[in-house]
Amino acid sequence: MLFARINYSQLRQLLEVIFLWCLCVPLVYAGAADYVYTTAIEQGERELGVKLGAAAPVAGAGQQVAGIGLGYGVTDHWFTELYLKQEHNGGARATLAEWENKWLFTETGQYLLDAGLLAELEVPLSGAAPWELRVGPLLQKEIGKFQLNGNLLFVRAFGMPDESGVPYTTNLACQWQVKYRWKPALEFGMQGLGEMGTWNHWSPVASQNHRMGPAVFGKIALGNRQAIKYNAAWLVGVSAAAPAHTLRSQLEYEF
Amino acid sequence: MKTIFLITLLFPFAALAADYTLVIKEHRFEPAELIVPSGVKIKLVIDNQDATPEEFDSHALNREKAIAANSRITLYLGPLEAGRYPFDGELHEDTARGVLIVR
């Protein structure tokens, strides 16, 4: 059913792109697959997605993340997606399920800012790890051919106690993105991800994790409401606690 | 101060918009060329009078939205600079094509 509406040539192109995408990950030593959430939601849209990330080591431990997910636009204002992902942190390996939900509270372009909400639950399927909840506002603004995004996320681990015995706190993370919508198949810009520490008592700057760098985006229409979407970024650590380099990417088949 | 800043971001200000309408009939946009003024926000109502769904798609306008059969959607666009902004109905691309002309 999934591939019934695309021809052999399109399917081969899709598989080639996914294969090349997968080959790219081991080339950079490690990273996280986190991406900048946007307020774009379309009713009835289904997405089969792959996300990959690799970040250079911090204190000797590199990280690689790979995930595959299926998403659906339930309404014009609610998108839900389930990801299965595997993380390699140094020698440790963990399999996780991630349930992402986005809600859009405004009509796109109606107000000064488009406003939405993200709620994402991460559940470990293997290994000893706590659950993690991410909740926060998503904001978007269009200015001509530029699209700006800024998100604040409150992140809280819970469930299994921390090994060190330190109680979990609610941490604050931020995301931002500037995108120039040049052509459908190639848009470009900058994006950044940051982790500030406890939401009401930020860590010293040297202990915060901030990364930023160039990003590319695009969508290739296949006809019959099908398309391949991609986005990728090379993020450079701009704080002492951040990985020196992160390569993150996301590839989606929209149908 | 941080709290005030966050509340301000979460409750955006409404902006005024002028109204325009596009009709989808027999898988075509009517009018196929719609002229609107530059520099102001546009409220564009798309009325799908067909018995089949359609999907409004425009990279130039940065909008992609499904329209159920015999129903309406509203898009808020701009302020736009003068120029031509093509759009299409993704489910009937051969016939459902149009341009927003901003002057």
Tokens 């018995």: give the residue.
B51
| Tokens linked to A100 | 């992402």
Q: What is the pLDDT of residue A96?
A: 94
Work out the minimum CA distance from A62 to partner chain B, whole angstroms: 35
> How does pLDDT run across A148-161, given as a tens digit for each residue?
999 999 999 998 87
Structural contact between residues A221 and A184, judged by C-beta atoms closer than 8 angstroms: yes
pLDDT at position A1 is 38
Confirm if B34 and B61 have CB atoms less than 8 A apart. Answer: no
Q: Which residues of B touch A (CB under 8 A)?
A: 6, 9-10, 12-15, 17, 41, 55, 59, 62-66, 74-78, 81, 90-91, 93
Quote the DSSP letter at residue A14.
H
Residue A247 token pair: 């390569």
Are A137 and B10 an interchain contact pair (Cβ–Cβ within 8 Å)? yes
According to DSSP, the residues that pair with B102 across neighbouring strands are B36, B83
Chain A residues whose CB is inside 8 A of the B10 CB are 115, 137
Token pair listed for A238: 């701009």
Cβ neighbours for A173, distance < 8 A, ≥ 6 positions apart: A134, A136, A152, A153, A154, A155, A193, A194, A195, A196
Distances (CA, A) of A131 to A59, A134, B37: 24, 10, 52
pTM: 0.85
ipTM field: 0.82
- B6 pLDDT more than 80: no
Could you list the pLDDT tens digit for every one of the 255 residues in chain A? 333 445 555 556 555 554 554 444 333 333 368 999 999 999 999 999 999 999 987 666 678 999 999 999 999 999 999 999 999 887 788 999 999 999 999 999 999 999 999 999 999 998 778 999 999 999 999 999 999 999 999 999 998 877 777 789 999 999 999 999 999 999 999 999 999 999 999 999 989 999 999 999 999 999 888 999 999 999 999 998 899 999 999 999 999
- Counting one residue from chain A and one from chain B, the pairs whose CB atoms sit within 8 A come to 58
Phi, psi of B74 (to 5 degrees): -125, 130
Range A189-194 contact pairs with CB under 8 angstroms and sequence separation of 24 or more: A189/A214, A189/A215, A189/A217, A190/A214, A190/A215, A191/A36, A191/A215, A191/A233, A191/A235, A192/A235, A193/A32, A193/A34, A193/A36, A193/A235
Contacts 24+ apart (CB under 8 A), A117-120: A118/A37, A118/A151, A118/A153
